[in-house]
Every structure is written in structure tokens, then in C-alpha cells.
Amino acid sequence: MMTENQDIAPLLALLKMAADQWPSSEVGEVSQSELFRRDQALLKMWPEACRRVGVTEREFPRGVIRRWQQEMTGGRPH
């Protein structure tokens, strides 16, 4: 639980960085390959998000990765 609480601030910073990078695009307007590319970019931006909020860099939250995996597989187990 403590790690999850510490991940909130960097995740919020990452969302702000993403909004700055890709302003207001509708999900239906973005191709699946573009969504994948953006997910990869978010992983690369994670250390900067941690730095911006003053926390030490750590592993990207597993829960977010699991959520991405569920979306990519349509909720099917992989």
C-alpha cells in the first residue's frame, strides 16, 4: 500500500506530461499502433515524472502495466 501511495504523485505528473504531449485526441481517432507507441513513450517518461515530484525513481507501477495488458488482450487471460 505504501508503494502505491508513493506512485500517485508521479502518475499524476505522468498524466500531465501525456496531456501536454498528446492534447485532446479521441480514443477512436488514434490507431492501435499509435496507442502502443504512446504507452512505450509513457514508460520512458516515468523517470522524469518521478523527478518532477521529487521521489526517487522506481519501477513503473505493476498495476498500471496489468491494466494495459488487459486492455490490449480485451480482458482475456494471456
Q: What is the model's pTM?
A: 0.75
Is residue 22, in this structure, part of any structural domain at all? no
Residue span of the structural domain in which 66 resides? 2-16+31-73
User: Measured between alpha carbons, how far apart are the two ends of the chain, in Å?
Assistant: 26
Is residue 21, in this structure, part of any structural domain at all? no
Cβ atoms of residues 42 and 13 within 8 Å: no
- Report pLDDT digits (tens) over 2-54: 466 788 999 999 999 999 998 876 656 778 888 889 889 999 999 999 999 99
Is residue 25, in this structure, part of any structural domain at all? no
* Number of domains the chain contains: 1
Is residue 78, in this structure, part of any structural domain at all? no
